[in-house]
Amino acid sequence: EGMAPPQRILFPPENIRMDWQQSQRAGAGLHNSDNTCYVNAVLQCLSYTPPLANYLLSREHSQSCRLRGFCMMCRMEAHVNKVLHSSGSVIQPWVITNVLTKIGEHFQLGMQEDAHEFLRYTVSAMQRACLSGISDLDISSQSTTVVHQIFGGFLRSRVTCLSCKAVSDSYEAFMDVPLDIKAASSVTAALEDFVRPEHLDGENCFHCSTCDQRAAASKSFTIDRVPRVLTLCLKRFEGFTGRKISKAVGYPEYLDLRPYTSQTSGEPLVYSLYAVLVHSGGSCHGGHYFCYVKASNGLWYEMDDTSVVLQDINKVLRQQAYLLFYVR
């Protein structure tokens, strides 16, 4: 639409396999070595992300990787292969916990950290690994890595001048969508709030280049290019205090993203829930993280560090979710 096409395609989109290539029960549980429940919960959600797991199980990355030293994609490939081939056992995720400071320099063993922040740093480190050794890439080409093609999308920010009706669009890549839940009792209500136009006037007036004056305007965000995997973060922690918003927020097993896109007319864009990450506790400074994942056999499992227990979808849908993972 308003974005320049990529000058280079780094990974052929037709090679991304959205459906599991084989069916099996859940893989290994993970030892919690010194406050690493946030690491374990995020790793389990990523390990059951079908297009990512399919790619990592193929070992295609390590066969062509030319990175000397730390490579997050090689680390994730080793971890996911070990987890998914060790059903019924418990493993140490050393291949990841040994490089925490390389994923983000403030992450260190023994410290309780935020699971969403760890997810963002991990996906960013995977994206950097896919871009290593390639320079001078335009932003559209950077979005053609296997990682960005799985997790990434683009938001459109549209400002409409209320004086002359001129429209100004800008685009921004995203790997997940943060949702304000203070006023929302469901994910769909929070998404409606996310795309609801905001009125800019007074001190927030917009300088319109068309009518060359400061004018009242309307600003709205929409999802312009939808991701293959949609990650939603329910903003449960208050900015300054870290206090938790512990209210129930409903989320569906199947979500149609169409109403929240730039093109609201058209076929439904249906996403299926495959992982739910939960925080239990009163603030971001403590508590415990665990998750629920849907394995390749179609069954749900509760993953709580070393514990891997079969669960039913009704329990999965009743959690105080922090992160929600949907696959198209």
Is 215 within a domain?
A: yes
**Would residue 248 count as lying in a domain?**
yes
* Residue % of the chain over a pLDDT of 90: 77
3 falls within a domain: no
Q: How much is the mean pLDDT over the chain?
A: 93
Task: Report how many domains make up the chain.
Answer: 1
State yes or no: pLDDT of 126 exceeds 70: yes
User: Lowest-pLDDT range, 70-79, 87-96, 278-287?
Assistant: 278-287
**The one catalytic residue among 31, 65, 74, 288:** 288
* CA count, 13 A, side-chain hemisphere, 139: 10
- The whole model's pTM is what? 0.95
Rg of the chain, C-alpha, whole Å: 21
What's the mean pLDDT in 203-224? 90
Inform me whether the pLDDT recorded for 125 exceeds 60: yes
Mean pLDDT of 209-231: 93
Residue 227 lies in a domain: yes
What type of residue sits at position 180?
Answer: D
Neighbours of 132 (CB within 10 A): 17
User: Do residues 19 and 95 make contact, with C-beta atoms less than 8 angstroms apart?
Assistant: no
CA angle 4, 10, 11 (to 5 degrees): 115
163-170 own/partner pairs: CB under 8 Å, 24+ apart: 163/208, 163/211, 163/213, 163/215, 163/216, 164/208, 164/210, 164/211, 164/215, 166/208, 166/209, 166/210, 166/211, 168/208, 168/209, 169/2
Q: Is a pLDDT exceeding 60 seen at residue 1?
A: no
Q: What is the pLDDT of residue 283?
A: 73
User: How far is the CA of 224 from the CAs of 130, 157, 256, in angstroms?
Assistant: 24, 9, 15
pLDDT digits (tens, 9 = 90+) for 2-57: 678 888 899 999 999 999 998 999 999 999 988 899 999 999 999 999 999 999 99
149 in a domain, yes or no?
Answer: yes
pLDDT at 207: 87
- 242 domain residue, yes or no: yes
Characterize 57-70 residue by residue with b for buried, 16 or more Cβ atoms within 10 angstroms of its Cβ, and e for exposed.
beebbeeebeeeee
Instruction: Supply the CATH number for residue 218's domain.
Output: 3.90.70.10
Q: Is 104 exposed, middle or buried (0-12, 13-18, 19+ CB in 10 A)?
A: middle
- Active-site residue identified among 31, 37, 79, 164: 37
Which residue do the tokens 């001190």 mark? 203
What pLDDT is attached to residue 2?
Answer: 66
> 288 an active-site residue?
yes
Q: Mean per-residue pLDDT for 298-312?
A: 97
Query: Pairing between strand 153-161 and 213-215?
Result: unpaired
Q: What is the pLDDT of residue 61?
A: 95
Q: What is the pLDDT of residues 81-103, one digit of tens each?
A: 999 999 999 999 999 999 999 99
Mean pLDDT of 98-121: 93
Q: Is residue 128 pLDDT above 70, yes or no?
A: yes
Q: Helices 72-84 and 37-47 meet at what angle, rounded to 10?
A: 80
Task: Quote the percentage of the chain above a pLDDT of 70.
Answer: 99
Least confident of 54-58, 195-199, 207-211, 272-276: 207-211
**Token pair 């009125």: residue:** 199
Residue 240 has pLDDT above 80, yes or no: no
Residue 243 falls inside a structural domain: yes
Task: For residues 56 and 29, give the distance between their C-alpha atoms in angstroms, rounded to a whole number.
Answer: 19
> Which band of pLDDT confidence, cut at 50, 70 and 90, is reported for residue 286?
confident
Tell me the pLDDT tens digit for each residue of 140-175. 898 999 999 999 999 999 999 998 998 999 999 999
Is pLDDT of 241 > 80? no
pLDDT of residue 51: 98
CB 96 within 8 A of CB 43: yes
Tell me the residue range of the domain where 136 lies.
22-327
Asked whether residue 281 is domain-assigned, the answer is yes
Per-residue model confidence (pLDDT) at position 68: 86
Q: Which of 177, 150, 6 is nearest to 73 (CA)?
A: 150
